[in-house]
Structure 1
Amino acid sequence: MINYNGNIGSETNLKLSHSNRGINYGDAVFETLRMTAGKLNFWEDHYFRLMASMRIMRMEIPMNFTMEFLEAQVHDLFEAASEEKKDSYRIKILVWRIEGGKYTPDTNDVEYLISYEKITNPFYTLNTDSYEIELFKDHYVTSGLLSTLKSNNKLLNVLGSIYAKENDYANCLVLNEKKQVVEALNGNIFLVNGYKIKTPPLEDGCLNGVLRKQIIAILSQLPDYVLEIESVSPFELQKANEIFITNVVTGIQPVSKYRKKEYTSVVAKELLGKLNVKVRLG
């Protein structure tokens, strides 16, 4: 089931106009989050990122779009669907500008859609299976503010995922126009080299990830590590002891291999335990 502008019903009954601006112009933003035992994980961070994305996209934020309102809309959907709140779910909140106009919209008013799917594990687990990555160099991310948003302009990610599948890679890392490593196809990246942990800055065009923010907060409290938010060169990938990818659905995904270099997952395991504590404590 879905929640479409407060109306809850079957997704098979959803009818979107051929003039929908999200479909025609990529004029939409979304937020993906995780719910565990009826609680929206890191909800405040997700909410404020969604509001910031809408402001950057010059969408009109409705007066009733409060944190409490959207949270209630999510819970209303689950109650109508008679889903067990003790389970875990991946939730997506999609917002688009109301149709009208071509490149210049007739209005900045918005509509929204909330959907969900069940997740097996209530907390984050570490996948230690083989996870080989490669660089995707056919197209580049443009450094700047728009690249940090979760918009529905994901053509590069789609093409990169097809490239990874065709070449038997688990994931790919993408570059910006300055040939700096920005992120993975589905999350932010962290490089571990001894006691130093490095992640690209938002200015390089990486997604402003909620899990990225949480990992940075955890690392700031660990005296054994030094966090560096600096640009990453492709040459640094083979010098690192460890590389891991973060997103709100998977949590922390260690990379096992890049070209001839194989990695450990010691820091990823340590951070995963602390991340799950944050989830439990709220």
Structure 2
Amino acid sequence: MDAISEKPVCYVNGQLVPEGTGAVSALDRGLLLGDGLFETMRVLGGGILQWQRHWERLHSGAQTIRLALPWTADELHQAVGQTLHANNLCEATVRLTVTRGFSPAARGLLPPADAPPTLLIRATPFAPYPDHLYRDGMRVIISRKVRRNEQSPLSRVKSLNYLDNILARQEAAEKSADEALMLNTRDSMACATAANVFCAHAGRLRTPPVADGALPGTIRALVREDLAPSLGRVVDETQLDESALLNSDEVFLTNALMGIMPVCAIDGRPLSTGAPGPVTRGLRAAYERWFVQQKTKKEGR
């Protein structure tokens, strides 16, 4: 096990190096072309929450973009653990990035046949979302400038190219909103810039399907497969248009860092009472119970 560093370090291709050093080649395809994938993970009690789901999404994404991963799930898990230990972190956010690696030609789109991928892992102290957002809800907009291309295979992977998401988030900031929701090319709801979206109407839970451009999120899967069933609820994957969302009783967002986040208003229009509703509150309570269980397991109690 590597020694604990006094200054932040990151993991680059098997080595722990100080953050901010020029450790990645200027000819790396991740830098030049956005040719790669990433996972953002929550670490609790020194352990990665939902590691298996993160690994499966990374592996599936690599197959989609035809990037051969030379590491096993266990090897990547160990590399993350090494990075956490070196930074003396137990409660953290981990960003794991894989690129297609060094391209000696520096031009052209076709990847070299034998370039080894680049692996970067960065761990930072976990910074929670503000409490008032969970209490009062997020204010979101529906982006009018960006559409998510549900017909592209990239809508189903966490690609390094996040420019559409960045543009939509800038649009939200310009309108004093916390997040932006994105429609797809068929005017159906896809997702938020950094989260999946759910809605509840008359107690019925719905979320856009992956075929409509929704990223297969890890907390999305947890809600659908574990939390909602534990409360006797079923989540329907179904096409949602803008009207269906605006007329919902409740809307909430999910991702690996925020967990379950209520939405209080869309495009300046309050949802129902303008406060987190009973379905969202119930799911948040179920998530908190699950979270405590995971923490107990990670800490070995």
TM-score by length of 1: 0.91
Structure 1, residues 169-196: CA drift from partner, whole Å, max 9, x if none? 1111101100111111110000010220
2:22 aligns with 14
Alignment-mate amino acid for residue 135 of structure 1: I
Where in structure 2 are the equivalents of 1:1-282 lying within 5 Å? 1-62=9-70, 65-81=71-87, 83-85=88-90, 88-100=91-103, 101=105, 102-107=108-113, 109-120=116-127, 127-144=134-151, 145-217=153-225, 218-223=227-232, 225-258=233-266, 259-262=268-271, 263-265=274-276, 266-282=278-294
Structure 1, residues 74-119: CA drift from partner, whole Å, max 9, x if none? 11112222x142xx11101000002225210113631100001111
Structure 1, residues 104-158: CA drift from partner, whole Å, max 9, x if none? 0113631100001111459x99712352111102121111332011111111111
Contact between 1:126 and 1:269, CA under 8 Å: does it hold in 2? no
How far apart in 2 are the matches of 1:75 and 1:45?
A: 17
Structure 1, residues 44-73: CA drift from partner, whole Å, max 9, x if none? 1111111111111101121xx122211111
How far apart in 1 are the matches of 2:123 and 2:26?
A: 24
Match of 2:279, SS state, is helix
Aligned residues: 275
Give the CA deviation at 1:278.
2.6
Alignment-mate amino acid for residue 52 of structure 1: S
> CA, structure 1 residues 275+69, in 2 after alignment: closer, same or farther (shift >3 Å)?
same
How well do the aligned residues superpose, as a CA RMSD in angstroms? 1.9
Structure 1, residues 180-230: CA drift from partner, whole Å, max 9, x if none? 11111110000010220110000011111001000101213332x332110
Contact between 1:125 and 1:272, CA under 8 Å: does it hold in 2? no
Alignment-mate amino acid for residue 222 of structure 1: L
Give the CA deviation at 1:17.
2.2
Give the CA deviation at 1:12.
2.0
Alignment-mate amino acid for residue 104 of structure 1: L
How far apart in 2 are the matches of 1:45 and 1:175?
A: 25
Give the CA deviation at 1:275.
1.7
Report which of the two has the higher share of strand.
Answer: 1
How far apart in 2 are the matches of 1:91 and 1:277?
A: 23
How far apart in 1 are the matches of 2:128 and 2:95?
A: 18
> CA, structure 1 residues 160+120, in 2 after alignment: closer, same or farther (shift >3 Å)?
closer
> CA, structure 1 residues 120+172, in 2 after alignment: closer, same or farther (shift >3 Å)?
closer
Contact between 2:41 and 2:49, CA under 8 Å: does it hold in 1? yes
Structure 1, residues 30-55: CA drift from partner, whole Å, max 9, x if none? 01111001111001111111111111
Identity %: 24
How far apart in 1 are the matches of 2:81 and 2:235?
A: 37
How far apart in 1 are the matches of 2:89 and 2:101?
A: 33
Alignment-mate amino acid for residue 251 of structure 1: G
Q: Structure 2 regions of 5+ residues with no counterpart?
A: 1-8, 295-301
Match of 1:113, SS state, is strand
